[in-house]
Amino acid sequence: MVGMSDVRLYVATSNAGKMRDFVAGSGGRVRLEPLPGLKDVAAPAEDEETFEGNAGVKARYYSLMAPGEMVIADDSGLEVDALGGAPGVRSARYAEDMGFAGPAGASVDERNNFCLLEALAGVTERAGRYRCALAAAKDGVVLWGASGSLEGSLLDLARGLGGFGYDPYFYVGELGKTMAEMGAEERLALSHRGKALTALLDAMGM
């Protein structure tokens, strides 16, 4: 097993919450660092129909910013069965896609959550899952990929102050908590990102 001090992987994200999940999920097997200069370049178009497709697009694109280095990129989001798998790959842009303005002053996450609640009004079967797809690329070529998921259901009322995105509404029955109510260790044990990263590092032999 390759040690943390021997291998560095760059992560193509500026999302602090995602970065925390990935670092925790690595379990010290590798050294994960944010890709330098990420905020200074335009993001690639995420127009693939699957999480795996978008992860591959981002990994290829961002790996060209760090020649000779391995860069991992993710695409993740929420799938709700009653909505035909929506928000899906458009989870971060759900309210925008739906033309949902939301309350004045609401953040992007809040708008997305309010839009989801409106779409689920009157729906009793609210099963869904978080999904994460990861791709690892070097010099514009994807070499490995992996994915992970977490099953749950959607609540009407937010619970918890941790996490981000849809976490306050995503309820995990086996723990009786939303993702936003979980501590770091609980999140690590269940996280779709942690599962995807573990699978990716296994595939890479790290």
Query: For residue 47, is it within any domain?
Result: yes
Report, in angstroms and rounded to the nearest whole number, the Rg of the chain calculated over CA atoms.
17
Can you give the CATH number for the domain in which 48 is found?
A: 3.90.950.10
Q: Is 156 a catalytic residue?
A: no
Number of domains in the chain: 1
pLDDT tens for the chain, 206 residues: list them.
Answer: 444 457 899 999 988 878 887 887 787 889 999 999 998 899 998 889 999 999 999 999 999 999 999 999 999 999 999 999 999 999 999 999 999 988 889 999 999 999 999 999 999 999 999 999 999 999 999 999 999 999 999 999 999 998 889 999 999 998 999 999 998 778 877 889 889 999 999 999 88
Structure tokens at 154: 């959607």
Res 202: pLDDT: 93
Select which of 21, 75, 109, 167 is catalytic: 75
Query: For residue 35, is it within any domain?
Result: yes
Query: For residue 1, is it within any domain?
Result: no
Query: For residue 2, is it within any domain?
Result: no
DSSP string, 139-185: TTEEEEEEEEEEEEEE-SS---SSS-TTGGGEEETTTTEEGGG--HH
Query: For residue 3, is it within any domain?
Result: no
pTM of the predicted model as reported, rounded to 2 decimal places: 0.88
Full residue range of the structural domain in which residue 15 is found: 8-204
Query: For residue 123, is it within any domain?
Result: yes
DSSP string, 20-34: HHHHHHHTTSSEEEE
Res 131: pLDDT: 97
